[in-house]
Structure 1
């Protein structure tokens, strides 16, 4: 009993944030998606969630957050307290000066509420990456140089001949995001907070956290390691309902595995009626059991508590998608109720 109470206390003291993939549901459009995202953001803001992040993806019919900075402004303008940011901006797709100016503008519009999360992947397929890149020669290996360049544009101490206006001298937290050890090592060496996509690369989660924590070097930005882990959560009033709702996300992942991404589909009673057994088995192998949470309030509480106790994460960011907007809101509300 004492251990259970200790675990529950740690869970309640762990900040919970939201990653919104801005799903465009089947039969819907981007305009409706952005309205739903704002409605969700306003609710989780009132419920005490810590951050609301949006991710850069391209050439994906079911994801509406490709122009990430614009959507961040949309969400920040309609909320009051919650921090809003990118989870993340795929820096190799952009000139660092442009990102420094964009986020300098966002911070100037919404002081003290903007986060800049940076990733090194293109967030798209190779063909789309070629269409996005400012040069055709960047493969992500120059990511450390791009991060340093971006920071220099906003630093009053750096001796570059170009500065970001707005952006110069503003205190905008920069996070490095990753699903391998690369960004873990880089964020540790630069004394930055680190966010790991546990739901994308569960097999590397502990290795990446260990790398980050063991190699962390304090900086003027951060005096000790801070790691935020991404998990997928589909919560409903019963385990059965949650499992049914989760089939929308599973269909999205299965379609992506087929190389045929589409809009976010309604849930189905039986995935086996739509996908081959081998495809479903491959999906389950690729999913980390501990970072994919589906169930009733009590089930989610047990899963989240166990996950936080296992990882000692400083923060959790949940991705909780459902086809029906009210079901999606309810999923976040259940997590909020666990925190209260």
Structure 2
């Protein structure tokens, strides 16, 4: 069966608190573990009122303490925001605390404007140009395949599974060259999905970490009792996305019935564009959408994203989604 994993942004609800957001994330990870998901990843975002995963490695530690078997990690760390040495120390520490469970997905996009660049004391545009070298340096700090003048402690010898993330062709090419597993962010940037996977598989060079290509593709997935209920729950995420794309980001809003119908045509088109990598609906609908996406991508893993205003609704969504995929496998 195609493995299922979870991507969480640690959403902060309107009227909610950071503490509530972290509690909801740990409970979601526990639900994912009970349901049989393979991984639970936290995404790095900064200076956004509605997303609380900025201190990504700290949040991963919180998730690790709440779970016992599910793999945990970053999907991902935006390496231009950091030095390879710092990330080696952080994820070496996580591996020592939660041995054999740590993933480290690496992204090139700084995702930051001038204000954040100043706050981080970094020229992120220049730093992103050194991304391939930084990935190689980070790998050397963890596994020692290249001799460096300094040793990361914790870090060196850590059993951390490195992943390359991407939403364009750049990450696919680098993942293939370095022989790393590759995760494509099709849940919010589906345009280059097929070409990126073709390049990655065609150009893959085996490494000590991986004999052959291994693909993860992301989907927005909300599963509920009916299609109508699922679209109602998913309207919180849709509102947040529209607000972000129109320069008005904020906390996760409550759902709205028939939200899509109230939008102007450009916003409706923007959301419709994302539906090529989405499964929102009843278990039957979700099963059909995921099966079609797996057939299209031949992905080894699917990672599901998508926030709901009611945290319990997302826990139920994970349970029903896993049951739906098990039926796909049986068929």
TM class by shorter-chain length? over 0.9
Within the alignment, does 1:338 sit opposite 2:320 as a pair?
Answer: no
Structure 1 residues not aligned, in runs of 5+ = 1-12
**1:72 positional shift:** 0.2
**1:179 positional shift:** 0.1
* 2:306 corresponds to which of 313, 320, 334: 320
**1:95 positional shift:** 1.0
Residue of structure 1 equivalent to 2:221: 233
1:222 counterpart SS class: coil
- Tell me if the contact between 1:56 and 1:123 (Cα under 8 Å) persists in the aligned partners: no
Give, in whole Å, the separation in 2 of the partners of 1:165 and 1:252.
40
**So what's the TM-score if we normalise by structure 2?**
0.95
Residue of structure 2 equivalent to 1:154: 142
Within the alignment, does 1:176 sit opposite 2:164 as a pair?
Answer: yes
Within the alignment, does 1:264 sit opposite 2:252 as a pair?
Answer: yes
Deviations 1:70-127 (A, max 9, x none): 0000001110100000000000000110000000000001000000111011133343
**1:158 positional shift:** 2.1
- Tell me if the contact between 2:240 and 2:249 (Cα under 8 Å) persists in the aligned partners: yes
- Tell me if the contact between 1:320 and 1:332 (Cα under 8 Å) persists in the aligned partners: no
Within the alignment, does 1:48 sit opposite 2:36 as a pair?
Answer: yes
TM-aligned CA distance change 1:176 to 1:130, over 3 Å? farther
1:138 counterpart SS class: helix
Give, in whole Å, the separation in 1 of the partners of 2:75 and 2:88.
16
Matches within 5 A, 1:207-226: 207-226=195-214
TM-aligned CA distance change 1:154 to 1:272, over 3 Å? closer
Residue of structure 2 equivalent to 1:73: 61
Matches within 5 A, 1:109-188: 109-135=97-123, 138-188=126-176
**1:150 positional shift:** 1.0
Give, in whole Å, the separation in 1 of the partners of 2:313 and 2:245.
25
**1:331 positional shift:** 0.8
TM-aligned CA distance change 1:300 to 1:272, over 3 Å? closer
Query: Number of paired residues?
Result: 326
Within the alignment, does 1:83 sit opposite 2:83 as a pair?
Answer: no
Residue of structure 2 equivalent to 1:309: 295
Structure 2 residues not aligned, in runs of 5+ = 327-331
Give, in whole Å, the separation in 2 of the partners of 1:212 and 1:126.
33
TM-aligned CA distance change 1:199 to 1:212, over 3 Å? same
**1:60 positional shift:** 0.9
- Tell me if the contact between 1:178 and 1:196 (Cα under 8 Å) persists in the aligned partners: yes
Give, in whole Å, the separation in 1 of the partners of 2:298 and 2:266.
35
Moved more, 119-128 or 144-153: 119-128
Give, in whole Å, the separation in 1 of the partners of 2:120 and 2:315.
33
- Tell me if the contact between 2:80 and 2:124 (Cα under 8 Å) persists in the aligned partners: no
Residue of structure 2 equivalent to 1:32: 20
Moved more, 128-137 or 291-300: 128-137
Give, in whole Å, the separation in 2 of the partners of 1:156 and 1:273.
55
2:85 counterpart SS class: helix
**1:144 positional shift:** 0.1
> What's the C-alpha RMSD, in Å, of the aligned pairs?
1.5
**So what's the TM-score if we normalise by structure 1?**
0.92
TM-aligned CA distance change 1:125 to 1:234, over 3 Å? farther
**1:133 positional shift:** 4.8
Give, in whole Å, the separation in 1 of the partners of 2:127 and 2:249.
23
1:202 counterpart SS class: coil
Give, in whole Å, the separation in 1 of the partners of 2:270 and 2:105.
30
Give, in whole Å, the separation in 2 of the partners of 1:119 and 1:133.
19
- Tell me if the contact between 1:229 and 1:313 (Cα under 8 Å) persists in the aligned partners: yes
TM-aligned CA distance change 1:277 to 1:137, over 3 Å? closer
